[in-house]
Amino acid sequence: MPRANIQLDRQAVIAPVRRRLFGSFVEHLGRCVYTGIYEPEHPSANEDGFRMDVVELVRELGSTTLRYPGGNFVSGFRWEDSVGPRDKRPVRRDLAWHSLESNQFGLDEFARWLKLTDSELMLAVNIATRGILPALDLLEYANHPSGTTLSDLRIANGSPEPHNVRMWCLGNEMDGPWQTGFMTADDYGKLAGRTAAAMKAADKDLELVACGSSGSGMPTFGDWERTVLEHAYDHVDYISCHAYYQEHDGDLGSFLASALDMDHFIDTVVATADHVGYKRRSSKKINISFDEWNIWYLEEHQASQEVNTEWRHAPRQLEDVYTVADAVVVGNLLMTLLKHSDRVTSASLAQLVNVLAPIMTEPGGPAWRQTTFYPFSITSRLASGEVIQPVIEAPVYDTARHGEAPVVDAVATVDEDRAAVFLVNRDLEEPAQITIDVRGLGSSQIAEAITLADSDVYAKNTLAEQDRVTPAANTSAALADGVLTIELPPVSWTAIALH
């Protein structure tokens, strides 16, 4: 049985717990919006057509910030299409996902939906095929109180109060040749810098996100970030990171260690951003918005026929059904984001409903939790105060993709009257015996110990078996004389709350 020793000291603070780390993402893609969050004919729908069964699950999930409306979708989007009387909204072709967009759900509807879920809006602007003036128009429509043409149009459209959007994404994945209007780093950096400067002339307190690389495997990774920030550094606040993971060729051991790749990705982008800052003699720090991250079985989707020559409304696309192993990796990736909360101050699990999502729905039918729902919702609920850097002594194993990886990973959070410890056991066969010294936290009682695991690491929750996989109390947890012991099943994710 693998054994690991962990020491926790409340003085070993990384940074505060950033509530925006628990963000998610709603894109006009597949069934994320239509028959996901919006289905007027559904039995649970309210007067706006919002599925209230989904609203309740989103509230339980604990998502804080919702990035909208894309994603690749935004690079062909005309925001004006999505506001005003529905019977006058045009139907458009979406080149990103080869589907039809009805525009029956738009900015004002989404803002109303967000109030039901207690979430903050993070809005993306299309500078790929449009540019600076439409971005300024959208800013005026969304945020100006009244007395201008576009703010008064918002009021006439039924939203008397400004949406007060603070975070704005300057396009999406502009380095990707799949992106409508993709650009070189030099061209994008200049445009992003000019757009950001104009938007901050309207509101100096906006928080603006420049596009980083679409992934660390892009051939321009690193150089893209450097070039973009050399143009836009003075006007933006964030550079974005995107990363998706999946199990390749049955290599579960490497997949379970995916957090090591995310860790290296973050360190590289931070170093690049700081390099630009040092060159500019700037005291300003650019933070990271990790505004797309998740498990995505991209290879399988690329081999499928779900994107074809037809133009369809809300086709079923990218509806991955997640396993226990997927959920363990999602929990571990979220732990890694917490460990980097000094510089990663915003993140978005991509996406929220149906598309690579923790929540699934059936048109006219139920909504249910995927396996990945649980580590996200539990971490969002328990993590508070400050993130603590643990000292971990654990055995390692070899992976084909990431080199040596610790069998056990952990992170902790602590505030005045409670603490939380999050753990993964990556061992494929054996449980792990964990000893945690919590004397430095001042904790004296276990309030909750819960583990997500299953004898079948590929077990899933489906329409037919919606609760096949759920977390369970870990009865092995014990606390005596400031030492916490617990046994972690193989391929498992665990959360412990302490008082």
Beta strands at 432-440 and 3-9: parallel, antiparallel or unpaired: parallel
pLDDT of amino acid 153: 98
The gap from C-alpha 434 to its chain's centroid, in whole angstroms, comes to 29
| CATH no. of 3-9+388-498 | 2.60.40.1180
pLDDT of amino acid 278: 96
With 0.95 as the threshold, say if the pTM is over it: yes
Strands (E), 59-164: 65-68, 92-94, 99-101, 120-125
Q: Judge whether residue 303 has pLDDT over 90.
A: no
Neighbours of 104 (CB within 10 A): 17
pLDDT digits (tens, 9 = 90+) for 235-280: 999 999 999 999 999 999 999 999 999 999 999 999 999 999 999 9
Q: Give the closest residue to 292 by CA, choosing from 245, 351, 332.
A: 351
Q: Find the radius of gyration of the CA atoms of the chain.
A: 22
Q: Judge whether residue 305 has pLDDT over 80.
A: no
Instruction: Let me know if 470 is exposed, middle or buried by CB neighbors in 10 A (0-12, 13-18, 19+).
Output: middle
| Angle of CA points 120, 123, 128, to nearest 5° | 165
Q: Please provide the distance, in angstroms rounded to a whole number, between the alpha carbons at the two ends of the chain.
A: 29
Q: Judge whether residue 482 has pLDDT over 80.
A: yes
Q: Which of 173, 207, 386, 487 is catalytic?
A: 173
pLDDT of amino acid 444: 82
Q: Which residues pair with 480 in a beta bridge?
A: 483
Residue-wise over 356-383: b if at least 16 C-beta within 10 A, else e? bbbbbbeeeeebbbbbbbbbbbbbbbbb
pLDDT of amino acid 443: 82
- Reported confidence tier of residue 304, pLDDT bands at 50, 70, 90: confident
Domain with CATH 2.60.40.1180 in the chain: 3-9+388-498
Q: Specify the 3-state DSSP secondary structure of 321.
A: coil
Q: Is 225 marked active-site?
A: no
Strands (E), 429-471: 432-440, 446-452
pLDDT digits (tens, 9 = 90+) for 371-389: 999 999 999 999 999 999 9
pLDDT digits (tens, 9 = 90+) for 37-47: 999 999 999 99
pLDDT digits (tens, 9 = 90+) for 71-112: 999 999 999 999 999 999 999 999 999 999 999 999 999 999
The residues, any chain, with a CB within 8 Å of residue 200's CB and separated by 6 or more, are 206, 208, 235
Q: Judge whether residue 328 has pLDDT over 90.
A: yes
Distances (CA, A) of 12 to 9, 298, 389: 6, 38, 6
pLDDT of amino acid 2: 86
| Angle of CA points 487, 491, 496, to nearest 5° | 45
Q: If you average pLDDT over residues 282-304, what whole number do you get?
A: 94
CB 111 within 8 A of CB 123: no
Q: In one letter, which amino acid is 101?
A: E
Q: Specify the 3-state DSSP secondary structure of 143.
A: helix
Q: In one letter, which amino acid is 41?
A: E
pLDDT of amino acid 306: 83
Domain with CATH 3.20.20.80 in the chain: 18-382
Question: In the chain, pLDDT over 70 holds for what percent of residues?
Answer: 100
- Reported confidence tier of residue 192, pLDDT bands at 50, 70, 90: very high
Q: Judge whether residue 199 has pLDDT over 80.
A: yes
Q: How far apart are CA 427 and CA 424, in angstroms?
A: 9
| Angle of CA points 367, 368, 373, to nearest 5° | 135
Instruction: At 210, list the tokens.
Output: 């420049």
Q: Judge whether residue 302 has pLDDT over 90.
A: no
Q: How far apart are CA 168 and CA 53, in angstroms?
A: 29
- Reported confidence tier of residue 308, pLDDT bands at 50, 70, 90: confident
Q: Which of 39, 140, 207, 292 is catalytic?
A: 292
Q: Judge whether residue 307 has pLDDT over 90.
A: no
**18-382 is a CATH 3.90.1300.10 domain:** no
Tell me the Ramachandran region of residue 446: left when phi exceeds 0, alpha when psi lies from -120 to 50, beta otherwise: beta
Average pLDDT of the chain, as a whole number: 97
Q: Is 173 marked active-site?
A: yes
Question: In the chain, pLDDT over 90 holds for what percent of residues?
Answer: 96
